[in-house]
Amino acid sequence: MKNLNILGIDTSCDETSVSVVNGLRVLSNVMPSQIEFHKKYGGVVPSIAKLAHIDRIDGVVTEALKRAKLEIEDIDLIAVTYGPGLAIALEVGLNKAKELALKYNKPIMGINHMEGHLLSSFVRRNSSKSENLSKLKKTNKTERNISSDLGDVEILNNVKFPSLGVLVSGNHTELILIKDFGKYEKIGETLDDASGEAFDKCGRMLGFGYPAGPVIAKISKEHKSNVLLKIVKKNQSVVASLTNKDSKKIYELPIPMVNSQDLNFSYSGLKTAFSNLVNSQKELDSTTIKDLSVLVEYANVSQVLLKVVKALTLYNFKEIWLGGGVVANITLRRLIRDLCKKNNLIFRAPYSNKVTGDNAAMIAVTSFINVYNLKALEDNKDVKLYTKDIQIMDRDPSLSL
């Protein structure tokens, strides 16, 4: 059975990303960041993103093929993100994919960006770069899929359903009931801001640049041993509480939605409460900034944890898959991994931070899984039979899983 070579393209937001995969394995994943262009605006500016994509896309395609040591002729399928995302940015990737497909007579498959994040834990490290694998195994940091010596199709055959997808990014905070590959049902979502957005906005209040999530995470990692964290019930509400071990100062932030019966999230309250907390400080000295960083991270990810705990009481999940930029956060990962251990569930998460944020490897791998799911590999049928017509696909930016 042939493992397909797939060229993936994602220009949904501010990353001009092109990747080549062979089956589930990444041969290259190129994504020059545009962050320096958007930083001063505190977020992504669509028109700037579009111009940068146009400027870079050809070079990134060439580089992705070069790093994969393949020619365009070796590619079996082109996968491209069609939505959701910034319409004018998506257009650049779609046009490039169509141009390549026409010129080189390749089939093309449109991929939902959120399905890409959902399946991002199936992206496998290239085996020729596997020298780190044994190290990962030793430190027990390896994820289920990459620790396995199985072939790609066996890995997919062994997945157990239903699984719970936990998508946490700059724009989405969602829980997905995964009945099978391609059969998804959204069972929870944010009613206002997303978790990543809250990280960025709260970080800004502490004077951090965009994106603030990784800055908060770094400070939290370094400072956590100086504080005590706990979740406490207060009257009708639930709060995250931090005590500084030296100063004995106590800070609190609410964890909303915990008492609601559904699986939805809310992050606007955290933003407001954090703004009040920051403004009530006499002085924002470096210890206070560190304390508040640890607390805001804890309050943010605890909401995800508590909703996942609730989801486990409602469905008979066998696995939990993490996806999205915020799952680079090690506190979130640790909480969900421990929960999986406790409940005997399989834990899957992207093997590297190159696959947590927006990237084309997850798009290419998602198209491989779509082809697998359509049984195209087993029957050795022509992939063309299974590709959707990209012209007629619904690209409503609100489209989401």
Q: Which residues of this protein are in contact with Zn ion, per CB under 5 A?
A: 169, 358
Q: Which of 10, 174, 291, 358 binds ligand KG4 (CB under 6 A)?
A: 358
For 159-163, the CB contacts below 8 A with 24+ separation are 159/319, 160/318, 160/319, 160/346, 161/318, 161/319, 162/315, 162/316, 162/317, 162/318, 163/317, 163/318, 163/319, 163/320, 163/321
| 174 touches ligand KG4 (CB under 6 A) | no
> Considering only residues 200, 202, 322, 350, which one is a binding residue for ligand KG4 as defined by CB under 6 A?
200
Spell out the alpha helix ranges (H) of 315-345: 330-342
Helix (H) or strand (E) holding 249: none
Regarding 364 and contact with ligand KG4 (CB under 6 A), the answer is no
Q: Report which of 91, 99, 77 is spatially closest to residue 46, judged by C-alpha positions.
A: 91
Residue in 112, 120, 142, 171 binding ligand KG4, rule: CB under 6 A: 171
Is 377 a residue that touches ligand KG4 (CB under 6 A)? no
Contact 165, 184 (CB under 8 A): yes
Contact status: 93 vs ligand KG4 (CB under 6 A): no
Torsion over CA of 163, 387, 23 and 124, rounded to 10 degrees?
Answer: -40
Helix axes 268-279, 286-314, angle to 10 degrees: 160
Question: Contact, 114 vs 172, CB < 8 A?
Answer: yes
Report what 23 binds from ligand KG4, Zn ion, none; CB cut-off 5-8 Å by kind: none
CA separation for the pair 49, 14 (Å, rounded): 5
Contact with ligand KG4 (CB under 6 A) among 169, 293, 303, 366: 169
Report 279-338 residues binding ligand KG4 (CB under 6 A): 324-326, 328-329
Q: Which partner, ligand KG4, Zn ion, none, binds residue 196 by CB below 5 to 8 Å per kind?
A: ligand KG4
Residue 84 touches which member of ligand KG4, Zn ion, none, C-beta under 5-8 Å by kind: none
Q: Does 267 contact ligand KG4 by CB under 6 A?
A: no
Q: Which is nearer to Zn ion, 16 or 288 (CB)?
A: 16
The verdict on 196 binding ligand KG4 (CB under 6 A) reads yes
Binding site for ligand KG4 (CB under 6 A): 13, 169-171, 196, 199-200, 211-214, 217, 324-326, 328-329, 357-358
